[in-house]
Amino acid sequence: MYTIMVIDDSPFIVDIFVTMLQRGGYQTVAAYGGQEALDLLQTVKPDLILLDIMMEPMDGWETLMHIKNDHRIRDIPVIMLTAKQLTPNEAQEYGIYIEDYIMKPITHKELYEAIEAQLNRRRVLEKDLEMAREAGVDEAVIQNYKRLQRSIDINKRLLKILENTYRTSEAREEEGEDDFSMAIRNMEMNVRYQEEQLNSLRSSFMNRTASA
């Protein structure tokens, strides 16, 4: 059973998410603010963190950076909770540190799908790495595969954020619609290229396993 930590300075919101998660079969850890979460993370390591952005006195972004700067817990995937779209500045500054973001309010189904998408991605990656090691693949190649998968995940998240935050009349006027469209196309092409590389490496892992 997976454990999910919910971090929000509103007890009401925390209780809602905890109830939703428990109904979905997850174990939960509740933290009613950034500092309380950081204290709990010294002794508890959840499988995933749901972190609200708008908190006081320590907001979600500051809490996120404390988590990612701690080598003991930086690998825990974090999904941000927000009542508004991320801004372009937030996307550029924090996009590489988060797995996804969830708009509030959210249905049970949407919440479970968002969480399972992240957990499944991690399970698949761990299975691929285990398969590669068992087949005797060089560790440098395995680490390259891991970095490539991470890069694809980051680029897909940033692409999603760009599409959601820049597709407003204000953004098109500020950035220029042609520039925006070109940036989206270039990122999509980059993701496709990286996915081709990743699939090639995965195929080589499977071939090594079959011949072992």
Question: What single string gives the DSSP state of each residue in 72-114?
Answer: TTTTS-EEEEESSPPPHHHHHHHGGG-SEEEESS--HHHHHHH
Residue 91 has pLDDT above 80, yes or no: no
In the chain, what percentage of residues exceed pLDDT 70? 89
d(CA 152, CA 88): 19
Cβ(157)–Cβ(95) under 8 Å?
yes
**What pLDDT does 40 receive?**
97
In the chain, what percentage of residues exceed pLDDT 90? 42
pLDDT tens digits for range 17-46: 999 999 999 999 999 999 999 999 999 999
pTM: 0.79
Residue 195 has pLDDT above 80, yes or no: yes
The token pair at 51 is 């972190």
Range of the domain at 110: 3-211
**What pLDDT does 169 receive?**
43
d(CA 49, CA 77): 6
Cβ(175)–Cβ(117) under 8 Å?
no
pLDDT tens digits for range 133-181: 888 888 888 888 888 888 888 788 778 777 776 655 454 555 555 666 7
How many residues does the structure list for the chain?
212
At 129, which CATH number?
3.40.50.2300
pLDDT tens digits for range 45-63: 999 999 999 999 999 999 9
The mean of the pLDDT values for the chain is 86
**What pLDDT does 33 receive?**
97
Range 13-18 average pLDDT = 96
Range 68-86 average pLDDT = 91
Residues contacting residue 137 through CB under 8 Å, at least 6 positions apart: 204, 205, 208
Domain count, the chain: 1
